[in-house]
A and B are shown apart, each in its own frame.
Chain A
C-alpha cells in the first residue's frame, strides 16, 4: 500500500510516494539520494543511520517513512554551512575520530543532538545526581551518551576527543 509524503531533507522540500513498509532510512537513501545516513545493522542496534529528526537525534531504520510525513530531517551532509564544516564535523577531523568512516555520519548527527541535550541539562545514566541542573561532559559522560553509536574500527578514543573538543573542553 502506498502513501504520499513530504519531507524537508537538509533544507530541501521533497515529495514522494512510498510503500507503507518503507523505512525513513530507505526513503532517504534509496528514493531521495540522501546517502549520509548509513545502513549498518538495520535493527536499531548500531546507530549508523542516526539523523536529526525535527532537531533531535533519532535512528531512521526503525522509523516508517509514512509515520514521519512532514518531518524535518537533517543528515550529516546538511550540517555544513557551504564549505564551512559544522564544529562537530571539524572536531572529528581534528581528533582523528574515524578510521573507515562508515559510522561517522551517524556519530556526528548523534554528537550534535547529544550536545544539545547536555546544554538543556538532560542527565545520563552516569550522572550522579539526575536532579542536578548542569551537566559536565567528562569522558565518562561522553562515552555513555554516545553509546548508541558503534564503531567497528574502534576509533572511540578519537570520537570521545572530538566530542570533547566540540563541547568546548580541552583537546589534548
Chain B
C-alpha cells in the first residue's frame, strides 16, 4: 500500500472541491471495498477524503411522496428502517442478502452503488484487466467465466456489477442525487451505471469529484407487491450468480404495472424492459411470466462457463413473479404509501 493522506470532510462542498482538484484523491465511505483495493493494489490514491461524518445519514419522506435515503446511511440501518421494510420490502430483502451483518454495519448507500466488480482478474493485479488498466486486455473473456456477464458485455470486459441493493433500487426507479464542483445532478439509477463498451474502466457516468449525496425512491402504487430473490453458490454470504428484483401491481388478474431488474448478469443492474413490455396489460399467468422471461433473455450471449445463467435467470424471474401473485404473500405496500 502506498502512503496516502487522510482528511475528514467538513461539508459536502468542501469535500467535492478537494477531490475535484486532485486527480489522485478519492472519497472514503465505509471502506469495505476501497480499503480492500488499497491492500490489493487495485486502487492507490494519494488522498482519502472521509465523507462518513457528513450529515447524509438520514432517511426522510419526500414532499411529493417517496423517500430520500442519505448517501451515508449504513446498509444495515437502511434494511432495518420501518418505512423501507413496509413500503419497499424488495430493498430490505436485497440489502439483507448482501455481505454479512458486520459488513452491512459499515457499508454505506453511496459506497454500495460505487462498489466495483468482484471479477477475480480485476482484483488480481498480476493479470491483465481492461477495467483496472485500460488497454492491457481481458483475462476473463478466455478465462474462468462462471461469474461473468450474459447480457450487454463487450470483448473488452465481461465483468458484472456486484451490488444487490442497486438491483432493487433499479427496479424501484431510484434517482441518484449528485453534488459536483459546479452543479448538482439528478441521475436516474438506470442511467447511472454503464455498460462496458470500449471504456470498461468507467463503471458509472460520474466524473471525478462528483459526490453521491442521496438516493430518492418514488412512491409505489397502493397494493403492489415487491420481492428480491438471489441465487448463489452457497446459502449465504456470497455474491449473486443471478438475482431478480420485481415490483408487481396486479388487478382483476391483469398486470397493471411492473418493474423488474436483474443482478449478476451484466456490467450494470439490468432493467428488464423487454419483460416489462410483455407483462404490462397481460394476464398475470405462468404462461405470460414465461414469455416475459424468454423475451428478456432472448439476446443473452453466455460465455463458456456460464451458459447455466440463461435458464437460471429465466426460471428465477418466473418464480419471483409467481410468488408475487400468491394470495398469501405477506409483503405488500400498505394503503398509506
| A interface, CB within 8 angstroms of B | 1, 3, 19-21, 23, 42-44, 47, 50, 53, 56-59, 62-64, 66-67, 110, 113-114, 117, 120-125, 127-132, 143-145, 147-149
Q: In the complex, what residue of chain A is closest to B332 when comparing beta carbons? A: A131
B139 on interface, CB distance cutoff 8 Å: no
- Which residues of A have CB within 8 Å of B103? 44, 59, 62, 148
Contact B102 A130 (CB under 8 A): no
- Which residues of A have CB within 8 Å of B106? 58-59, 62-63
Bound state CA distance, A50 and B36, in angstroms? 16
Contact A131 B105 (CB under 8 A): no
- Which residues of B have CB within 8 Å of A62? 31-32, 35-36, 103, 106
Contact B100 A148 (CB under 8 A): yes
Contact B237 A1 (CB under 8 A): no
B133 on interface, CB distance cutoff 8 Å: no
Bound state CA distance, A143 and B236, in angstroms? 9
Contact A67 B50 (CB under 8 A): yes
Contact B101 A117 (CB under 8 A): yes
| Distance between A71 CB and nearest chain B CB, rounded to angstroms | 12
The 8 closest A-B pairs by CB, nearest first: A148-B100, A147-B236, A129-B330, A147-B237, A125-B96, A122-B80, A62-B35, A57-B102
- Which residues of B have CB within 8 Å of A127? 96
Contact B39 A148 (CB under 8 A): no
Picked from A47, A122, A143, the residue with its CB within 8 Å of the CB of B102 is A47
- Which residues of B have CB within 8 Å of A129? 330-331
Contact B35 A64 (CB under 8 A): yes
List which B1-54 residues lie within 8 A (CB) of chain A.
1, 3-6, 28, 31-32, 35-36, 38-40, 48, 50, 52
List which B72-108 residues lie within 8 A (CB) of chain A.
76, 79-80, 82, 85-86, 89, 92-93, 96-97, 99-103, 105-106
Residue contacts A-B, CB under 8 angstroms, 21 given: A20-B3, A21-B38, A43-B36, A43-B40, A58-B106, A59-B106, A62-B32, A62-B35, A63-B31, A64-B28, A64-B35, A66-B6, A122-B79, A123-B79, A123-B80, A130-B85, A130-B89, A131-B82, A131-B85, A147-B236, A148-B101
For chain B, give the interface size range.
35 or more
Contact A130 B96 (CB under 8 A): yes
Beyond A122-B80, A149-B100, list 5 extra A-B contacts (CB 8 Å): A47-B100, A62-B35, A117-B80, A125-B97, A128-B330
Q: In the complex, what residue of chain A is closest to B38 when comparing beta carbons? A: A21
Q: A130-B89, A131-B331 are in contact. Are A67 and B97 (CB under 8 A)?
A: no
Contact A110 B4 (CB under 8 A): no
Q: In the complex, what residue of chain B is closest to A117 when comparing beta carbons? A: B101
Contact A147 B79 (CB under 8 A): no
Contact B102 A113 (CB under 8 A): yes
Bound state CA distance, A77 and B66, in angstroms? 45
- Which residues of B have CB within 8 Å of A132? 330
Picked from A20, A124, A130, the residue with its CB within 8 Å of the CB of B5 is A20
Q: In the complex, what residue of chain A is closest to B230 when comparing beta carbons? A: A125
